[in-house]
Amino acid sequence: MFLLRIIVFLILISLVMILAYPLLIVFDIATGGNGFGVCEDLLTCTIPITTGPRLLVTLISTFFVLVFLLRIIMKLINYLNKEDSIL
């Protein structure tokens, strides 16, 4: 049971990291960085047209997979507790 709660905590942390990752890239570029390897020099940056959508699809897919896993684990915890809930 404790292990399931740790897994839920890790999934929630992962969800927050997935949502914050694009903001961290923009912040890094705004402060003079290279966007964690996305663009070495902002003036001469050549990024393929599929990089942005591919990153978006990857982040959204990972987000929904983690939400699905979180829902399954919460149902398992409720089943083990034998409590009725709205999940």
pTM for this entry: 0.72
How much of the chain, in percent, has pLDDT values that exceed 90? 34
3-state DSSP call for residue 48?
coil
Tokens of 78: 């409720």
The number of C-alpha atoms within 13 Å of 2 and in the hemisphere containing its C-beta is 0
- What is the tens place of the pLDDT at every residue in 59-74? 999 999 999 999 999 9
- At residue 41, the pLDDT reads 75
- Domain ranges across the chain: 2-81
3-state DSSP call for residue 70?
helix
**DSSP H or E run through 76:** helix 51-81
